Structure 1
Amino acid sequence: MKLSLYLKWFVFFALTCLLTGNLNAQIQPAGTQASLVEWHYTIRPKDNIWTLGEAFLNSAHNWEDIIRHNKINDPKTLTSGTVLKIPVDWLKHQPEPAIAASVTGNTMVRRHLESHFSHLSKNSELRVGDEINTYDGSVLIRFADSSILRLAPNSQLVFNRLTRYGKTGMADTRLRLQKGRLSTHVTPLNGRGSRYEINTPSAVAAVRGTAFRLLVNDQSTQLEVTEGTVLFSNNARSLELDMGQGTILNSGTSRATIIDLPKALKPRSVISNTQQLPVTFSWRKQPNITTYYYQLFKDSDQGELLDSSFLATPEITLNHLTNGTYLVAMRAVDSQGFNGIDHHVSLVIGMIAKPATLLGPANNLFIDNDLPEFTWQYNSKNELSQLEIAKDFAFTELISTSEFAPDNTAIPTHELLPGEYYWRVKTLAGGESIAYSDIRRLKIRGMMPPATIISVNYIDNQAKIFWNTVPQAEHYILQLAEDLEFKKILHENTLEKSNVSIKLTKNKRYFARVKAVGNELFKSEFSTGKELIIK
């Protein structure tokens, strides 16, 4: 059984080398010990054996070992183009962390040797021994060799090995998917010492430059190959699957059937550029398919996953997106749960904001309300707006700014004092395109603080009346009447000062009241009447 597995690996690797043109990675003759798997380096101009030894070899070896291993008599005779053979075990082994390139939802990480989980944040480093649980979130992981892995919700992944061989470009990546689902795109591996392997409780998937998906259940692992070739095995069976094929391996059993995945969908309507949302994409249904899976990525399928869902029909409407490039992916899912090949559509959104049309209040209107309502009308779909109120026409002195919202009405963020104001509406489309409406002037009219008679001094037949000074007043009006209701006014004076002397008849009752008068922005009322009498 071991010999059979070795032969399969031999054939698989040889084919990969031919397909990828990787001439530096060569299979050793049968019987060669694993410790003598070699990396081949082609000497370049200005290289020398001493600097090569320092750059590539670990502390247990030096340039003299390279000379002996390659049976070179005189290192000075090495020329550009000469191929040196170096055992992989001699190379520097450096741990290289992976990066959480994007993280969504409730995604947690437990660091090596730690007992508790903590929230995983974007751009965090992931090292050997770390464990990720995605719960209702997802994470895009980028490895040192630019391979990527996207871990779906409710999945658990452990990093068993993350190694790079010095400056050789070779990498050894080994992961364990405990449960859940992942998809991965593996950069073609550089050199015989490179490795990319994902273990599950029931199987192992090993590749040398391909793309595939894994789904792990309690007793089985489902594989879907979307690019290249994957060697898929457990203790009882080893399979080689090509692009468009899938299978399931159960723990401890050799039974497995390779099936053809659903083909890529054919689009009914494809839009590559738009300046307006919403936009709808649809694909032709496939026979015997009742489920479809949709994904939306930022920029590309290696970017942030923005949305995903299972659908009954292959159609999706996109709305409320910002300007930029997106990738829409749709695939069929067969009755056994195998996901097919994605059909991708790249979409560039470039919405342009249009100025809103102001509705009310009208220009130059006087309003007796310190919290007036402002209204406007949009001239494009999928826009947000913001009300701006300023003390000056240039809007350098903003006094009220609302939050961006899809509403077409707003009130100031605080009460407006009596005065003159300017207002406009700022519209936002696509997260970056801005437009401004026309500017209108508004005058808020308020109540002037009351003027109240505070004292009266009597001298002979005269009464001197005093009232409080009102800062906003331009002048005051004093009225004198015989009755408290001021139905019969005897005298009315317009005064600039806050006091006045009036001649009265002795033993006769009078009533006085006062009002402060300001400019057009202020209303005012008379004070209550004050009784006057000279005895």
Structure 2
Amino acid sequence: MRSLPILLPLLLCLPHLAQAADTDEWRYTVQRGDTLWSIARQHLRSIAHVPALQQKNAIRDPYVLTPGSVVRIPTQWMRQHTGKATVTDLIGSASLGNGKQQTALVNGNSYPLQAGHIISTGPNSLLKLLLEDGSLVSIGANARFTIQQAVHYPSTGANATWLNIERGSVDNHVSKNPLMPNRHTIQTPSAITAVRGTVFRVNVDDDSRSATEVSEGQVEVSAAGYSEQIGSGFGSVTRRGEVPGKSTALPPPPELGQLGGTQAFSPAILQWPPVAGVSRYPVQLLRTIPERRIVDDTTAASNHSYPALDNGEYRLLARSELDNGLQGRVASQDFSVHAFPTPPLVVSPAPDARLRSLDVRFVVSGDAGSRYRLRLARDAAFSQPLLHDFSRQDNRLTLPEGGHWFWQIARLDASQQPGPYSQTYQLQADTGWWRASHYRGTTLSARPYPLANARYQLRLTQLDQPQPALQLDGDTPRWQLVERLFPGRYRVSYRVTTPDGYLAQEPDDILLLD
């Protein structure tokens, strides 16, 4: 018969704490004043077990017990009931049932964990279960578990839980019980992980391989006559029928701190420093506001992720993964996205324009109903900005005074709130006729992206004339045309790409020229 690898915890024996010799009995440490009868009344299903308990432990007098001695109690004699679990967090979908009839789980509800029942999660889902002993089980997406055992011992507050994983991942935080150690077992097609009070993770890719990663405590992996001790911060890969993989140091989590704040672009630009020796990063992206859901769950082949996101609040979860599939601790970073509506294409005034007077006319992309917010200041930090809202029909502004000005423009949404602002432009006002800029052609300026080696493509298609589309490319989003564009309506398409796979296609826009 093929033996399965077994992972057993190596936990320190603490004074006055009960220890379990195996999964079938509890080793109770006698306290002052204890008798077999008092122990039975408190912990056993019936005091009728006292004679058998006395015989099993070779105790001469059931009324006289030595403090500090150990009484071995079979767990099947103890008070117990079917364990329960409370759903403390649920994103997506999850169900519990006998396989033929599944009940959809609801956040906040408690459910009995009956032997033989199946727990399953849907795609882009996350399920967190709080067991009666205080242990927390977090189950990832597309997982399927069978409950082998779920027993709660109310007199001690301990649990004995055994879950069989067919597929998926599970993070376990097993609470420590000073009276009776909690027994938490995860079985996969290739390994069994049994712990009492530790933090660990098990991931099953298929029925021939599983990975165990330990965050706290220590476990021992045994199979085929070979043992491998796995300590905190280490992991092991077990394949069916083979000895356990060598204990391997887990990689550090990626540094995500620089991603905090607001992303003004979509796809979002999520980049982090590479981790030495790591080439893959499992990433999960949760939307937290306005509604909670998982929007991305994938493995990035490099130290970046470029998800297309709507405005909202998000949380990025990322791990480092070694070539053998072992993953380190998870890193988490909250951030917000404020990418829409996108800034308009700017035609006038041209960047660094010199105006002969204080009057400025703003020509930007947008249909007849578009509105904009202009931000002006004397300094590039916009420490004391002047704000001015305008529309295409009312696009002229008289500056309060001449000199050097910095300005940015944003498009207003339906609630008259600005989207992200454009890059900073400059102009010089009231310079006089001879020092003013005089452009014969047309200047087109779009928003640059903070990406290395970015390429920009602007495509203008005249809608009311059968003219070929004008396509402009460059490594900066600014184009100077020798001739003026013909008056009319143009469809504006703006695209940004990078060699490492970033692709942004901003929403098509309208440019009206007269």
TM-score normalised by length of structure 1: 0.51
**Corresponding residue of 1:310:** 299
Match of 1:164 in 2: 152
Cα 1:407–1:204 change in 2 (3 A) is farther
2:245 to 256, 259, 266: 256
Q: Does the CA-based 8 Å contact 1:103-1:137 persist in structure 2? A: no
Deviations 1:424-480 (A, max 9, x none): x69899xxxxxxxxxxxxxxxxxxxxxxxxxxxxxxxxxxxxxxxxxxxxxxxxxxx
> What is the match of residue 213 of structure 2?
224
Query: What letter is aligned with 1:116?
Result: Q
Q: Which has the higher contact order (CA 8 A, sep 6+)?
A: 2
Deviations 1:33-85 (A, max 9, x none): 986642236469xx99977644322125478988997969796x999x98884
Tell me whether 1:116 sits opposite 2:109 in the alignment: no
Cα deviation, residue 275, structure 1: 8.8
The answer (yes or no) to whether the contact 1:225–1:243 under 8 Å persists in 2 is: yes
Matched to 1:291, the amino acid is R
Alignment of 1:170-181 (within 5 A): 170-181=158-169
Instruction: Provide Cα deviations, 1:396-417, integer angstroms capped at 9, x if missing partner.
Output: xxxxxxxxxx9834xxxxxxxx
Taking a change above 3 Å as real, the CA distance of residues 427 and 172 of structure 1, as seen in their structure-2 partners, is farther
Alpha-carbon shift at residue 174 of structure 1 (Å) = 0.6
User: Relative to structure 1, is the Cα distance of residues 344 and 154 closer, same or farther in structure 2, using a 3 angstrom cutoff?
Assistant: closer
Q: 1:346-357 to 2 correspondence within 5 Å?
A: 347=334
Find the counterpart in structure 1 of residue 12 from structure 2.
17
* 1:210 maps onto 2:161 in alignment: no
Listed as ranges, the matches of 1:59-458 within 5 Å are: 59-61=46-48, 85=71, 87-89=73-75, 90-109=77-96, 111-112=97-98, 115-122=100-107, 123=109, 125-127=111-113, 128-138=115-125, 139-191=127-179, 194-208=182-196, 209-234=198-223, 237-254=226-243, 256-267=245-256, 269=258, 271=260, 282-296=271-285, 308-315=297-304, 320-321=311-312, 328-345=316-333, 347=334, 408-409=413-414
CA distance in 2, matches of 1:188, 1:87: 20
| Secondary structure at the counterpart of residue 338 of structure 1 | coil
Q: Does the CA contact (< 8 Å) of 1:140 and 1:304 recur in 2?
A: no
Structure 2 unaligned spans of 5+ = 339-367, 376-410, 420-514
- 3-state SS of the aligned residue for 1:17? coil
- 2:511 corresponding residue in structure 1: none
C-alpha root-mean-square deviation of aligned residues, in Å? 4.8
Mapped to 2, the partners of 1:253 and 1:210 lie a distance apart of 25
Q: Distance in 1 between matches of 2:200 and 2:210?
A: 16
d(CA) in 2 for partners of 1:281, 1:22: 49
Q: 1:118 to 1:153 in 2, by over 3 A?
A: same
Partner amino acid, structure 1, of 2:80:
H
Give the Cα separation in 2 of the matches to 1:237 and 1:251. Answer: 14
Shift of residue 246 of structure 1? 2.4
Unmatched tracts of structure 1, length 5 or more = 352-372, 381-405, 410-424, 430-535
Name the CA distance, whole Å, in 2 between partners of 1:158 and 1:320: 39
Write the deviation string for residues 140-199 of structure 1: whole angstroms up to 9, x where unpaired: 222222222222223211111111222212221111001232222222354555311111
Asked if the contact 2:138–2:171 (Cα under 8 Å) also holds between the matched residues in 1, the reply is: yes
1:187 partner SS:
coil
Distance verdict in 2 for CA 1:223–1:36, change over 3 Å? closer
Partner deviation per Cα, 1:377-426 (whole Å, 9 max, x = no partner): 7899xxxxxxxxxxxxxxxxxxxxxxxxx9834xxxxxxxxxxxxxxx69
Return the index of the structure with the highest Cα Rg.
1
Contact 1:207 1:231 in 2 (8 A): no
What CA deviation, in whole Å up to 9, does each residue of 1:268-296 have, x standing for no partner? Answer: 6264xx69988976531123433212335
Residues 22 and 251 of structure 1: is their aligned pair in 2 closer, same or farther, counting only changes over 3 Å? farther
Percent identity between matched residues is 19
Task: Count matched residues.
Answer: 338
Q: Residues 468-507 of structure 1: matches in 2 within 5 Å?
A: none
C-alpha distance in 2 between matches for 1:281 and 1:185: 29
For each residue in 1:459-512, what CA deviation from the matched residue of structure 2 results, as whole angstroms up to 9, or x when unmatched?
Answer: xxxxxxxxxxxxxxxxxxxxxxxxxxxxxxxxxxxxxxxxxxxxxxxxxxxxxx
CA deviation after TM superposition for structure 1 residue 206, in Å: 1.3
Structure 1 Cα separation of the partners of residues 176 and 233 of structure 2: 19
